[in-house]
Amino acid sequence: MKTFNLIIAGVCLMAAVSCNQARNTEQATSEYENAVIENMMTRRSIRQYTGVPVKRETMQTILECGINAPNGMNKQSWEVRVVDDAEVMKEIIGMMAAANPSVDPGAVKGCFRGAPTMIFIANDPSYDCSPIDCGLLSENIMLSGWSLGVGSVCLGSPVRFLNNSPEAIARLGFSEGYTPIICIGMGYPAETPDAKPRDPGKVRFVE
């Protein structure tokens, strides 16, 4: 029995070592050695989608990541509404277009970039850190989505149209006192955009 146990332990040890070697080889061939960093560095804004809404089960995980973002005093000063039904989205766009008669209705529709799942985020303007809370929530949503193969684009332009439309805000069911601050379009990517350049000169150590 003792010999049998020793053989089993030996086999397990060999499997663990070979597994570790495989992982190290994989890491060595990847540009980034850390999966979290790779996820951050490869994320791109996506503006072309397959048209299929994000699976509800996947969205639940993404939204849970969102609300686990750091936030001031854990006030969770956000409200999040998800629209993944094309008919509801059409209704909301119609309300927004009606409330912004000087804007071409095509532009109102276009500002959503054709994303099949739309996330509307409202902040609590009575709390000065609420925009930051909503930004951190948004980033968690976009990065967790990216790690699960879901593309996204942060959208500021629909908010201007939305905030002129109490009807659309009511349809989204935001609580009294909450004001839309940002939208996130999500879906399965139908494009692979290049990275946009960043200016490292904006960041420096103070000696």
Ligand X SMILES: Cc1cc2nc3c(=O)[nH]c(=O)nc-3n(C[C@H](O)[C@H](O)[C@H](O)COP(=O)(O)O)c2cc1C
Pick one of 39, 157, 163, 164: the residue that binds ligand X (CB under 6 A): 157
Pick one of 51, 70, 156, 166: the residue that binds ligand X (CB under 6 A): 156
Tell me how far CA of residue 111 lies from CA of 119, 134, 156, 178, in angstroms: 13, 20, 9, 22
CB 201 within 8 A of CB 175: no
- In whole angstroms, how close is the CB of 146 to ligand X at the nearest point? 10
- From CA 105, how far away is CA 98, in angstroms rounded? 8
Q: Tell me if 150 contacts ligand X by CB under 6 A.
A: no
Q: Tell me if 45 contacts ligand X by CB under 6 A.
A: yes
Give me the residue label for tokens 């939204």: 63
CB 163 within 8 A of CB 181: no
Q: How far is C-alpha 145 from the chain's CA centre?
A: 5
Comparing CA positions, the residue from 110, 57, 100, 99 lying closest to residue 82 is: 57
Q: Which of residues 162-201 bind ligand X (CB under 6 A)?
A: 182, 196
For ligand X, which is the closer residue by CB, 40 or 98? 40
Q: Tell me if 113 contacts ligand X by CB under 6 A.
A: yes
> Which listed range, 75-83, 85-93, 102-110, 147-155, lies at the site for ligand X (CB under 6 A)?
147-155
Please give the residue ranges that form the binding site for ligand X (CB under 6 A): 44-45, 47, 113, 153-157, 182, 196
